[in-house]
Structure 1
């Protein structure tokens, strides 16, 4: 199994009218899904679809920036305890909790604390279990996200805690539904490894009990994670198109509507 952590995006960079990464003081992984080439060669509209790590630490300057971007909706995939520990309530931002508990990662930490010795390969397997859980067990959460996207094209941000796993799968589904190539979806997914910075206090606390080689797997992304989700969806449904249609309710008509709403031209 390939355990490389720093695979670089394969697509050459292109000039864009906006920076993909939105610099905010309270997040490190807030970015725009605009500019990618989708169906019929049309590009994803800038400044409509954003993905991020959690939003609890936003400063007043950050909040002003989000208001200037017209971001008025936030989809929060975090579990209940995550939201309690790092909650937020920004007046202009309507929150929608689509709860996906981080059960596999919690299990990994519990096993370590109980004295079990996890290897990096074991941890990759646990992360793949997490992603396979997104495909079937949590399909309704992602279906709800698509229903929200179809209801309005008001700028929206979706996030979890680090903006890498639950958020990464959501971003992959949205981009695929808009006709973006699998290769570009991979590239967007791997950008997390360049952008996300775990909070120093969290890193210091975790390092006291969890080996760094395990943290490097848990706090980064690897293609085997995402590919395990694609593999299960295609095993169960045959193709990603059928998975989108049958599991998430995003068939040809819905994809055409998404294209009208979120692709240029």
Structure 2
């Protein structure tokens, strides 16, 4: 659609940090710049990175990682940014460990596990995304950044839900999701000895899984996107209009 989107913020100790601003929506407007960001983990920021992020004017950082993930690698945040933990627990860890031990495991096996996780994100953990929208509806919380570990899966669904609520097409949603493949440095460490096909499957984006997660979320909330927005994400017509006023230009 447009090669200059998304607007990435280069860092030394992290990657996949980008402004969601600039993406077009169906009514001809665009997402405002400097209001909403997504990223991978912020646990390894350098002092220069912290200064760069401070320049974004962040007031709220939503951490979508599970409890143990977040405790193991605490975020480094600039002064004035409040961390809000909206935990989405990883649900395939034990099964993934089993795959790592099996000599005949394939990338397709990993994708099958990831599919289960994505479906969970869109159903079991929809409350975390509802809380994200609650924060977005408060302008005192802006600028806001949300992230997980890679900034790809849980964060990817979050971005997809936000862009969809703002009126972006599915094509735009998927373009933002796939941008991880060129922006993320794949700097999340894998267990020693992880076979390359398994690591590649974990590192890659999987648009078909994001599509499945969105479809599962819709199905679980009445079978239509307006019902998902209202029942699942707390966005009735008035609140949806307010969200668009705040985030679109």
- The two structures have a TM-score, normalised by structure 2, of 0.92
Alpha-carbon shift at residue 92 of structure 1 (Å): 2.1
Alpha-carbon shift at residue 119 of structure 1 (Å): 2.2
Using a 3 Å threshold, how does the CA distance of structure 1 residues 108 and 217 change in structure 2: closer, same or farther? farther
Structure 1 match to 2:14 = 27
- RMSD across aligned positions (CA): 1.8
Q: 1:260 aligns with which of 228, 245, 249?
A: 245
Contact 1:52 1:157 (C-alpha < 8 Å) held by counterparts = yes
Task: Indicate the SS of the match to 1:103.
Answer: coil
Using a 3 Å threshold, how does the CA distance of structure 1 residues 179 and 213 change in structure 2: closer, same or farther? same
Alpha-carbon shift at residue 241 of structure 1 (Å): 2.2
Aligned length: 246
Structure 2 match to 1:186 = 174
Unaligned runs of 5+ in 2: none
Task: Indicate the SS of the match to 2:30.
Answer: coil
Task: Indicate the SS of the match to 1:41.
Answer: coil
Unaligned runs of 5+ in 1: 1-10
Moved more, 235-244 or 108-117: 108-117
Measure, in 2, the Cα distance between the counterparts of 1:213 and 1:116: 12
Q: 1:79 aligns with which of 61, 66, 91?
A: 66
Measure, in 1, the Cα distance between the counterparts of 2:218 and 2:187: 36
Contact 1:39 1:259 (C-alpha < 8 Å) held by counterparts = no
Q: Given the alignment of the two structures, is residue 222 of structure 1 paired with residue 206 of structure 2, yes or no?
A: yes
Alpha-carbon shift at residue 124 of structure 1 (Å): 1.3
Alpha-carbon shift at residue 214 of structure 1 (Å): 1.2
Alpha-carbon shift at residue 195 of structure 1 (Å): 1.3
Moved more, 184-193 or 111-120: 111-120
